[in-house]
Amino acid sequence: MENRICIFRRYHKRTLPKITAQLNTQNEVFISSYDDAEQRCIVRVASDRSMGAYYLYDVPSDTLTHLADVGAWLKPELLCDMKPIRFVARDGLLINGYLTLPQGRPAEQLPVVVNPHGGPWARDNWGFNPQVQFLANRGYAVLQINFRGSTGFGKAFWAASHKQWGLTMQDDITDGVQYLIEQGIADPRRIAIYGASYGGYATLAGITFTPDLYACAIDYVGVSNLFTFLQTIPPYWKPMLEMMYEMVGHPEHDREQLMATSPVFHTDKIKTPLLVAQGAKDPRVNINESDQIVNALRARGITVQYIVKENEGHGFHNQENRFEFYEALEAFLDKHLKQPISNL
């Protein structure tokens, strides 16, 4: 029996051109679902500056009916364009990403927030990203990099990330920052790095192994110690543990490498102002990951802003906690990036 994914792809290929022709739009158009009879489907239209709208498409009559707008209160003309970029990493690998520039400012000497994605075997996509818009609206260019290991670029690109946490994967992020500096887009004195989960690890690795590159950093539920991270894999990940050893590293066979690439063992190199946010009940990145890095830095007399929420897991989902985090994020970036370092 033909599986539903294959049917959906065939249906999508057959139906989507008709829908796109009717909409006459430059925005992204895709089918989100369809009925069993394949006679009607739900269509989503969206872009980098709009959360878009939903339509009902009737196949027999070839008609579209508008159902609802999403985030209609957001005005696309006030939001920022997300543009694809590409650069060549130091070892010759082609790296793709996205750059969102703030409105009304020339693309030169801008404060930049580098936002490595989580996963790490996931990817950033073109489209509406509320976090990116939040940052760009406040005057920051936002750099998203699909470093090696990101999905959608082929098996070899994905496999190139195996056992490369803190190594070539981190080099890709560093090389992306250097690309913006060389292009004159980024002010080298005003670059921040902010990421969640693996992106949090990349944030800590960035300020540990390239301590002069970033003016400030925000680690959101990030890994600091690869040994304890692998030891606290949640039960629903246990079937994947051997695969994690192959892709991240084995705590015994790769001990020296994991020691070298775990930021918590190299806190003497960290001098960048740091904000850390963590859910106390996080099953994926245990709170011990954040506690370790914060305690190690505080033991050296370094002030770290630390937000812990007892009612949160892997990321903040309660509205009041999200408000508090983004208010803290905004104030933190405002303090460290708004003016060149020499003028602070």
With CA atoms as reference, report the closest residue to 158 among 121, 212, 112. 121
Instruction: Give the strands of the sheet with 50-58, arranged side by side.
Output: 28-34, 40-47, 50-58, 63-69
d(CA 223, CA 165): 11
CA atoms within 13 A on the CB side of 314: 14
Q: Cis omega before residue 340 (within 30°)?
A: no
Helix and strand element counts for the chain (H, E): 10, 12
What would you measure as the largest C-alpha separation in the chain, in angstroms? Answer: 71
Contact 233, 195 (CB under 8 A): no
| CA distance linking residue 297 with residue 90, whole number of Å | 31
Tell me the C-alpha distance between 274 and 343, whole Å. Answer: 20
DSSP one-letter string for 275-329 = EEEEETT-SSS-HHHHHHHHHHHHHTT--EEEEEETT-BSB--SHHHHHHHHHHH
| Residues recognised as catalytic | 197, 282, 314
Residue found by looking up tokens 């959360």 in the block: 51
